[in-house]
Chains A and B, each alone.
Chain A
């Protein structure tokens, strides 16, 4: 749960050794609580809430992938929603042509490959060249790429349904007789995928490759000096984040329709807000931020929404200015204070 950033004056390795000890004792408990909550949720909440939660889980997964990109590649995408849109449209278009179990699995596979593949294609152009396009320029490029994809989706209406989006495609089926309808089945799938991806990422980020990625992000000059190929690392992380975002988009399909708004700046802004307010560099922070903020927003209705968004904007500024670690960082500070 705590980030592995070492304090600047710590000897090399100290933070990591400490991190291992902390992980054994302290991070099992919150993970277990989270797991129990996710499993128990469909039994304690109404059908309506479970339906919402399914949608918010996919948002959470998307925010998690954006956090991965920021934490291990030092990049912030301002068009990350577009990868979610790519995944959603890919599964919807697949189901239109090939309904049933086969189409469902093929669609999910395609959603991940289109998301990852498109990120790999863009990343290979941006990161592997003689002059790496990174930092703020990466932000501009991703913003423009999302705008391009949105324009293409709007303009190519014979294929994508244009500004109406796509609806009426076949219901995805996990197995013959197990369609993703109602609330329980989609929730079960989304929750399972989220847990698996989170566990997988946690494991991957603690591997030596994951730590090299962190080193490359924290001191790119030194990392480059000892032979870490930063460009290829960024490419790897960007592709993984794209693939996860694509899967998240495909999981959104049981909602029943997809619209070009998924590619819009507003949606991508939301993803950033979830990640920053939830807490950067924690993976789970963005995930919880997405779920918490989305629930709050649906709970408030009518003219309150504007006031709520105004507050979110103020909160975003304040968090970036004075508490860059967000809610999870605050939680970490509190638990650390209790322990000592």
Chain B
């Protein structure tokens, strides 16, 4: 019994950290720019293919993890300069345009790599004993990595000059500009960081899923909910959202058919959004 409970707790923690990891890039772009990036799922997927590519060339998984944020960040650079910055006054059109960006990335990957599925070998296949339970090392590593990325992001936003500039821009674009902050540049930085985080998440997730051009879509709805349920623009809210959606999913999945559990958690998220549109933790 204790073993089952413990397994479920670690499962919940693992899923929560995975969802937070996936939602990070979305949260940064939404929180700092107010832009909902519908290409997020496809940037995430592009990160996986960066690993496929790097592993194919060098044979080393970790090299792919390094390459993914660079490659996907570069895509983000182009997307911000070419698309997102021109639509600042039209938020709904930003959704439509990023939807188009997503299609381009997805079909581009299909052209380059084919539509077939790929497998990325798990670099750390073993398990570790936590009390009576053996748990896969790689999933435990992901929990630690997510926590460190969160800490790094918080440090960057709250302890460094670029972070300060971003927060100033978020509070008041014009006043920030009057104080010598270039809002265009700050926006570019935020978007590139968000895209790079999406790519990093994809790279780290690649050993746990079957890599295919449509893989990101499965996570899109849940990633959105993780961001909005906790409250847009707060890292704490992001963690809260991840724990609610990930934990809820694991808990419901223990009692229900996993598909229905998945649906139930999304229903919960919609209900939360209806009563607390600003998120739970604000």
Point out residues on A near B: beta carbons under 8 Å: 74, 76, 78, 125-126, 129, 131, 133, 135-137, 139-141, 143-145, 147-148, 151-152, 154-156, 265-266, 269, 272-273, 276, 306-307, 309-310, 312-317, 320-321, 324
Point out residues on B near A: beta carbons under 8 Å: 36, 38, 83, 86-87, 90-93, 95-97, 99-104, 106-108, 110-111, 115, 214, 217, 220-221, 224-225, 228, 257, 259-260, 262-263, 266-267, 269-270, 273-275, 277-278
Contact between B224 and A143, CB atoms less than 8 A apart: yes
Tell me the minimal C-beta distance from A206 to chain B in angstroms: 25
Number of A-B contacts (CB under 8 A): 122
Listed by A's residue number, 15 A-B pairs whose Cβ atoms lie within 8 Å are: A78-B99, A133-B273, A133-B277, A136-B91, A144-B225, A151-B263, A155-B257, A265-B217, A265-B220, A272-B99, A313-B101, A314-B100, A316-B100, A317-B97, A321-B97
Kindly identify which residue among B36, B93, B103, B259 contacts A140, using a CB–CB cutoff of 8 Å: B36
Contact between A152 and B260, CB atoms less than 8 A apart: yes
Contact between A144 and B224, CB atoms less than 8 A apart: yes
With A131-B277, A313-B101 already in contact, the answer to whether A140 and B224 are too (CB < 8 A) is yes
Please, how many angstroms separate the alpha-carbon atoms of A306 and B103 in the complex? 10
Tell me the minimal C-beta distance from A2 to chain B in angstroms: 21
Which chain B residues border A125 with CB–CB below 8 Å?
274
Contact between B86 and A147, CB atoms less than 8 A apart: no
Contact between B93 and A320, CB atoms less than 8 A apart: yes
Contact between A148 and B93, CB atoms less than 8 A apart: no
Which chain A residues border B87 with CB–CB below 8 Å?
320-321
Tell me the minimal C-beta distance from B92 to chain A in angstroms: 6
Please, how many angstroms separate the alpha-carbon atoms of A261 and B99 in the complex? 18
With A151-B263, A272-B96, A317-B83 already in contact, the answer to whether A143 and B221 are too (CB < 8 A) is yes
Kindly identify which residue among A143, A154, A155, A320 contacts B96, using a CB–CB cutoff of 8 Å: A320
Interface SS majority for chain B: helix
Which chain B residues border A145 with CB–CB below 8 Å?
270
Tell me the minimal C-beta distance from B177 to chain A in angstroms: 24
Which chain A residues border B102 with CB–CB below 8 Å?
313
Tell me the minimal C-beta distance from A265 to chain B in angstroms: 5
Which chain B residues border A139 with CB–CB below 8 Å?
36, 92, 95
Contact between A321 and B103, CB atoms less than 8 A apart: no
Contact between B95 and A78, CB atoms less than 8 A apart: yes
Which chain A residues border B101 with CB–CB below 8 Å?
313, 317
Please, how many angstroms separate the alpha-carbon atoms of A145 and B110 in the complex? 28
Contact between B274 and A313, CB atoms less than 8 A apart: no
Extra 19 A-B pairs, beta carbons < 8 Å, given A143-B221, A310-B111: A76-B92, A131-B277, A131-B278, A133-B274, A135-B92, A136-B36, A136-B92, A137-B277, A147-B266, A148-B263, A272-B99, A273-B103, A307-B107, A313-B106, A315-B100, A316-B96, A316-B100, A317-B97, A320-B97
With A136-B91, A140-B228, A314-B104 already in contact, the answer to whether A306 and B97 are too (CB < 8 A) is no
**Nearest opposing residue in chain A for B217, CB measure:** A265
Contact between B107 and A148, CB atoms less than 8 A apart: no
Contact between A155 and B260, CB atoms less than 8 A apart: yes
Contact between B104 and A313, CB atoms less than 8 A apart: yes
Please, how many angstroms separate the alpha-carbon atoms of A199 and B243 in the complex? 50
Which chain A residues border B108 with CB–CB below 8 Å?
310
With A155-B263, A276-B96 already in contact, the answer to whether A306 and B91 are too (CB < 8 A) is no
Which chain B residues border A314 with CB–CB below 8 Å?
100, 104
**Nearest opposing residue in chain A for B274, CB measure:** A125
Which of B90, B104, B111, B228 is the most central at the interface, judged by chain A CB atoms within 10 Å of its CB? B104
Please, how many angstroms separate the alpha-carbon atoms of A265 and B87 in the complex? 23
With A126-B274, A137-B228, A140-B36 already in contact, the answer to whether A309 and B83 are too (CB < 8 A) is no
